[in-house]
Amino acid sequence: MRFAPPLLAAFGLAFLPACGSGFGGSSASQNPSVVVLSTTSGQANDFAVAPGGTSPLGVAAIAYTGSGALDEIVPGVTYTWAARYVNPLTDPPSVATYTAGPDPNGFKTCPPVPTITPPVPILVQFGTGAPSTAYAGYRVLGANVTANHVFIGSVPAVPAPYCLAIVATSVPGNVAGAHTVIVSAGP
């Protein structure tokens, strides 16, 4: 058993470059080639929010440069954020679908756009901004304010289900990454 840690360390380091380790010397002055969004709310690939729930969905953005086995994380990048309602009749399938658990559920089509579409507040836990009326302890991210990690909640005046498109745009580089969020009581 004394050899387990070095063996595991060697095994882990052997696969690190294939995962975009970021050891290649990237700097914040590099423009990213892609921005990827991930959920930080303990969900696998499902970006979902319960209507009227007390916990918004955490979303983080990560910028990469390069491609394939040579991609690297670009440190020091921040993001401006936007959100809008998804229209399954006019948005492309890559936007108008969402994931709902592992197979056989897989991809589902977004419901029609609600008849009422108030602005979607993008929230932060720390920082300045107006306090959220729907989520205690969160503040609304101000316009043109950058953040690496935000929260998306349901819009109280809109009956569920509906989909939101969440977009993070890198500063520097102006590269956007997007993901679809379903606001629904169930998958």
- Sequence spans of domains, the chain: 21-183
Q: What does the pLDDT look like over 54-85, one tens digit per residue?
A: 889 999 999 999 877 778 999 989 999 999 99
- Mean pLDDT lowest among 18-32, 34-48, 150-164: 18-32
Residue 80: Cβ within 10 Å count: 18
Q: At residue 164, does pLDDT exceed 90?
A: yes
CA distance 183 to 161: 5
What pLDDT is recorded for position 170? 94
CA atoms within 13 A on the CB side of 154: 20
CB-based burial, 6-18: b 16+ in 10 Å, e otherwise: eeeeeeeeeeeee
Task: State if pTM tops 0.75.
Answer: yes
Question: What percent of the chain clears pLDDT 70, i.e. is strictly above it?
Answer: 79
* CA angle, 112 then 110 then 147, to 5°: 110
Q: Pull the structure tokens for residue 163.
A: 């989909």
What pLDDT is recorded for position 11? 30
Q: Pull the structure tokens for residue 4.
A: 């387990």
Q: At residue 45, does pLDDT exceed 80?
A: no
CA 82 to chain centroid, in Å, comes to: 11
Q: What does the pLDDT look like over 89-135, one tens digit per residue?
A: 999 998 999 887 665 567 889 999 999 999 998 999 877 788 888 88
What pLDDT is recorded for position 168? 95
CA distance 57 to 172: 25
Q: Which of 167, 177, 163, 168 lies closest to 49 in space, CA to CA? A: 163
